Amino acid sequence: MAARYKINEIFYSLQGEGYHVGTPAVFIRFSDCNLRCPFCDTAHEDGRMMTGREILDEISKYPSRHVVLTGGEPSLFIDSDFVQSLHGQGRYVAVETNGTHPLPAEVDWITCSPKVGLAAVPDDAAKIRIARCDELKVVYVGQDMSVYESIQADHHFLQPCDTGDSIRNAALITGSIDYCKSHPKWRLSLQTHKLLDIK
């Protein structure tokens, strides 16, 4: 495990979004991403270089088997060896990805949060390049939802964007609820960690 990874932070909390909401998990947040979204909550300039061994040592402090690789964009960094090293520690490996790069086959759970039409890059750069995911989680800003219909997923979540503007946020929550009610394969996902004011 000689590779080094730029890690923004490693922390222990509850999963705040989507299918596994409420699940205790160790979060490994990578720095850097191939997309730039105006609502991103990661400071990509922050972080420190860590070896795989150092990452394993850090997460061994926490009791949950559930590990979430997030970012940034973890698909830019992780490979089969990295995922297998987490499995070797008895961990269940979930990845939160924008879907623009393939992932190691060993990943246990894939949450795809596509950013087509949302990132400050051409749509082709944000194009989904994974065949399927366990969970599709769309950040809703009022966009055309038809672009996500071709993505194969077991679970569909619509998450109103936190814009920092309470009036805009209220409108997006209402819009998300209305969309879920008229398209019932979609479920509402709220950022419960923000509602609870936890990390």
Q: What's residue 158's pLDDT?
A: 98
C-beta pairs of 191-198 under 8 Å, 24+ apart in sequence = 191/16, 191/17, 191/159, 191/162, 192/14, 192/16, 192/17, 192/21, 192/22, 193/13, 193/14, 193/16, 193/17, 194/16, 194/162, 196/16, 198/13, 198/14, 198/16
The residue-averaged pLDDT of 161-173 equals 94
The CATH class, in words, for 4-196 is: alpha beta
Domain spans of the chain?
A: 4-196
Q: Give the residue with greater pLDDT, 15 vs 71.
A: 15
pLDDT tens digits for range 112-140: 999 876 766 776 777 888 989 999 999 99
DSSP state of 98: -
Q: What's residue 107's pLDDT?
A: 98
Q: What's residue 45's pLDDT?
A: 66
Q: What's residue 105's pLDDT?
A: 96
The residue-averaged pLDDT of 165-191 equals 97
pLDDT tens digits for range 59-70: 999 999 999 999
Q: What's residue 2's pLDDT?
A: 59
pLDDT tens digits for range 70-121: 988 999 999 999 999 999 999 999 999 999 999 999 999 999 999 876 766 7
pLDDT tens digits for range 21-58: 999 999 999 998 877 766 666 665 678 999 999 999 99
The residue-averaged pLDDT of 170-190 equals 97
Q: What's residue 33's pLDDT?
A: 81
On the question of pLDDT at 144 being above 80, the answer is: yes
Q: Cite the active site residues.
A: 27, 33, 37, 40-42, 96, 193
Rounded to whole angstroms, how far apart are CA atoms 55 and 74?
14
pTM to 2 decimals?
0.91
pLDDT band at 4 (very low <50, low <70, confident <90, very high): confident
